[in-house]
């Protein structure tokens, strides 16, 4: 057994090591968010980015995402200045920042498993009536070079079956080389209505040779008859005759509830100005038949 002086010395050494370790793990300045809180905020931001990209709601610019980010900061009770200063400090301390993103990755991986296991979207019998069909009937691969006849990739799909409530999902891969001469290239997806109104989303394209997957998910929410669905897989204001664009794996899916098509069409028709429901035709013999049937089958 250790004698009393040795016990005191051992405890003192342990205390010094503990204090050193604790201070090493907490050497961040005052006001900088803890790793736990920082990883929580970044997890929420990555989830928001993924949702917005899947829905095709923004063009990837910060201005479009700022309101959502501000809501996340408010949820965690921190200010924009606190988050910015914390982000700056962690980027200057890569080891701590790496620990944060290990936690973020673990959080997102756990969430992905929960989604696949149906935790947030249990199977519903209503979902069984959802039909998903690929309406893309064009080529799925395009290569534009300086010898290409086409300079823009514009497509339009017309179908009388398009209806209120439809969800259209456009996906494809795109790579634009640096030598491409398109100015401010972009990708556009539209729902065109019969009265001339348009619902559209777009995303900026980049000529940096990176292969990008674009996904647009748009729902027809207007109570209007749909004229067509159109897209521009490549659009730009100006080009100088030198193109270098590769597009591949194009698909355009229409998702709709097969059981609700007739009722949804009726909603659209009733929303048209001047719509009058069909009048009931008066049958003068109807009451007579009812009286005869009542007397015949239920005599007094």
Indicate left, alpha or beta for 77 from its phi (over 0: left) and psi (-120 to 50: alpha): left
Q: Do 112 and 63 lie in a common domain?
A: yes
Tens digit of pLDDT at every position of the chain (300 positions): 445 455 454 555 454 444 444 444 457 888 899 999 999 999 998 888 887 776 655 545 555 677 888 889 999 999 999 999 999 999 999 899 999 999 999 999 998 888 877 776 665 555 567 899 999 999 999 998 876 666 678 999 999 999 999 999 999 999 999 888 888 889 999 999 999 999 999 999 998 999 999 999 999 999 999 999 999 998 887 777 688 899 999 999 999 998 899 999 999 988 877 766 655 554 544 444 444 454 444 444
Q: What pLDDT does residue 121 have?
A: 63
Residue 150 lies in a domain: yes
Contact present, 239 and 182 (Cβ < 8 Å): yes
Q: Do 110 and 136 lie in a common domain?
A: no
Q: Do 107 and 139 lie in a common domain?
A: no
Domain count, the chain: 2
Q: Do 191 and 80 lie in a common domain?
A: no
Q: What pLDDT does residue 233 have?
A: 93
Q: Do 104 and 139 lie in a common domain?
A: no
Q: What pLDDT does residue 187 have?
A: 94
Q: What pLDDT does residue 297 have?
A: 46
Assign residue 239 the CATH number of its domain.
Answer: 2.60.120.260
Residue 15 lies in a domain: no
Q: What pLDDT does residue 213 have?
A: 93
Residue 164 lies in a domain: yes
Asked which of 93, 116, 139 is the last residue of a domain, the reply is 116
Query: What number of CA atoms fall less than 13 Å from residue 152's CA on the CB side?
Result: 14
Tell me how far apart the alpha carbons of residues 2 and 14 are, in angstroms, rounded to a whole number.
15
**pTM flag (> 0.75):** no
Other Cβ atoms less than 10 A from the Cβ of 250: the count is 22
């Amino acid at each position: 057994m250790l004698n009393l002086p040795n016990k005191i010395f051992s405890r003192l050494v342990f205390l010094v090591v503990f204090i050193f370790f604790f201070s090493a793990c907490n050497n961040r300045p005052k006001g900088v968010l803890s790793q736990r809180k920082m990883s929580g905020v970044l997890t929420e931001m990555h989830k928001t980015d993924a949702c917005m990209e899947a829905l095709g709601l923004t063009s990837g610019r910060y201005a479009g995402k700022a309101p959502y980010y501000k809501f996340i900061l408010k949820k965690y009770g921190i200010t924009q200045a606190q988050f910015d200063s914390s982000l700056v400090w962690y980027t200057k301390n890569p080891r701590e920042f790496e620990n944060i993103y290990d936690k973020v990755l673990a959080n997102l991986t756990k969430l992905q498993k929960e989604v696949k296991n149906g935790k947030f979207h249990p199977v519903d019998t209503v979902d069984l009536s959802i039909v998903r069909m690929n309406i893309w009937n064009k080529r799925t691969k395009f290569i534009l070079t300086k010898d290409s006849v086409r300079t823009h990739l514009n497509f339009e799909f017309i179908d009388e079956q398009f209806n209120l409530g439809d969800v259209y999902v456009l996906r494809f891969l795109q790579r634009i080389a640096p030598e491409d001469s398109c100015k401010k290239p972009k990708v556009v997806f539209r729902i065109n209505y019969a009265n001339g109104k348009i619902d559209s989303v777009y995303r900026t394209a980049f000529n940096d040779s990176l292969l990008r997957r674009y996904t647009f998910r748009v729902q027809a929410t207007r109570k209007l008859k749909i004229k067509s669905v159109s897209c521009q897989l490549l659009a730009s204001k100006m080009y100088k005759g030198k193109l270098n664009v590769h597009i591949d794996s194009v698909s355009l899916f229409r998702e709709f509830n097969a059981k609700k098509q007739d009722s949804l069409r009726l909603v659209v028709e009733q929303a048209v100005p001047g719509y009058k429901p069909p009048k009931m035709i008066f049958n003068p013999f109807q009451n007579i038949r009812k009286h005869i049937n009542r007397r015949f089958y239920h005599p007094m």
